[in-house]
Amino acid sequence: MSAPAMSPPSEARSARAVLATNLIRLRATRGWSQEALAFEAGLHRTFVAHVERQARNISLDNLERLATALGVPTHQLLQP
């Protein structure tokens, strides 16, 4: 007999949603535009916009670039 599949709690948010919320919050705290964050991270502004809109699947390398630009540990971007 197999164990029942565990489903995530209904209030659980996707990693994309958590990342988007954290990027927007941290960027706003610094008074940065998407363009400013993109410049600091060495990325294109439209990429940052796509990540914030949850329309882009981000790589670990780019996640690290954004965290470094924001001056936070990478894992903090994925913490609810």
Domains belonging to the chain, first-starting first, are: 15-78 (1.10.260.40)
φ/ψ (deg, to 5) at 53: -90, 5
DSSP annotation of 4: P
Q: What is the pLDDT of residue 4?
A: 52
pLDDT grade, residue 5 (50/70/90)?
low
Give per-residue pLDDT as tens, 14-70.
Answer: 999 999 999 999 999 999 999 999 999 999 999 999 999 999 999 999 999 999 999
For the full predicted model, state whether its pTM sits above 0.85.
no
φ/ψ (deg, to 5) at 72: -130, 155
Q: What is the pLDDT of residue 11?
A: 54
The Cα 28–Cα 7 span in angstroms is 34
Q: What is the pLDDT of residue 2?
A: 55
The Cα 61–Cα 36 span in angstroms is 19
